[in-house]
Structure 1
Amino acid sequence: MPDDELPLVAAKEICVNLQGRQLLENVSLKVDPGEIVTLIGPNGAGKTTLVRIILGLLKADSGEVTMRPDLRIGYMPQQLALSENMPLTVRRFLSLGSERRDIEIKGIVNELAIAQLMQQPMQRLSGGERQRVLLARSLMRRPDLLVLDEPVQGVDITGQASLYALITEIRDRFGCGVLMISHDLHLVMATTDQVLCLNQHVCCSGHPESVSQHPAYLELFGSPASAKLAVYTHHHDHTHDIHGDVEETGEEHTHG
């Protein structure tokens, strides 16, 4: 098969045991170019373990991971621990270890609307600001595959919807595939193509609307109504900026 017809990454029958506990059992997935695949599941389901295996940070007991030749990966970790005793501006953080020229960094900064943050210390950013900076950092290599571990952690509900919409825009603009861990299916429904529901094994997978109605999903999370995991839609005449403040536009918007 020609390289351009291969998945960006494919994991096949991944198994992981740790101290007699089964962390992953025969888990398979693939991500194609331009596709957003979201991993959901309860705490301890093995989501982060699977991502770390795909990134080569952990070794599976059995199974295999294959990637396209010369695949470029951008990774956004779940958390970033920064010492209060080590001041680090956003500009310095984005340039660390990067071979990108200033003009290229500026392009990514403008695309993610964080230009006004460049002189701010990383430690003083809000949750939404910090996540956008981490997302910018993950784009520095112009990745073919973007791997996001809980990208909206620590962000309020308005900021979460904005970040998920931004991830879709990035996919459309860069043509990259996205592998994302999330715990809130109600927000990712409108911004993901495929969902894989994990609980050590693959409970169910497919389009987010079909997964939300699957018996295995309902057993884990309850009904969409009771768990507030249904797609929601509302109309208004404004958008929200990076801080969650209202930007009046006079246009009607729909969120899913």
Structure 2
Amino acid sequence: MMKIDVLTLFPEMFHGVFNESILKKAQEKDAVSINVINFRSFSKNKHQTVDDYPYGGGAGMVLTPQPIYDAVDTLTQKSPATRRRIILVCPQGEQYNQEKAQQLSKEEHLIFICGHYEGYDERIRYLATDEISIGDFVLTGGELAAMVIIDSVVRLLPGVLGKAESYQQDSFSTGLLEHPHYTRPREFRGMKVPDVLLSGNHQKITEWREKESLRRTLLRRPDLLEKFPLSERQQKWLEELKNNN
């Protein structure tokens, strides 16, 4: 079972997210244990403050290292040999993607550090094995980003989604965007389900889905094709798609 600890100043933010849908089911199946910790409780200041004014001046407050270091020490001393990653959620970190989610899903223990206010004391970064950003924008704190990362990781754990196929064909899991999906009714407001999906010919359906995955990637994220190892057949399809477009 994977263990996830989240260090935050606002634990109440996580209650709804972690107690609904797939994350709730994953915990009920004992695929993951999620613990949210207010690192303010580790402050040795009599007022339990966790931030201070930055040296050199400037706007905002900076998180001090002591409470976060002590919180991480407490979490890691219980099982020092465990395979773990300590993740600093930060807009300066590496850009998050599906490949990173798959990497993290193989670990036994993840610790997330959620910053707030103006930023971290630089020494907190020495704790982290990973610094991760979910995009080139700034949030009020790291809580929402941590929720996004945790959701994307937990759904990859064995048994969480029932069948591995549920995520193996997801966008970015194969390196391309996922093909379109259809369900009933066959026709809705003049829009029809492609005939091939109703044919019962699984070989043709598989080929259609592969082509549509290429088409969607070409139209929406052509940058992904630059590093995707196309087969000879896929290369031929791609050239046909470019010519038709």
TM-score class, shorter-chain normalisation, is under 0.3
Q: TM-score, normalised by structure 2?
A: 0.26
Which one has the largest radius of gyration? 2
Q: TM-score, normalised by structure 1?
A: 0.25
Question: Which protein is richer in strand relative to its size?
Answer: 1
Tell me which of the two structures has the higher relative contact order, counting C-alpha pairs closer than 8 angstroms and 6 or more residues apart: 1
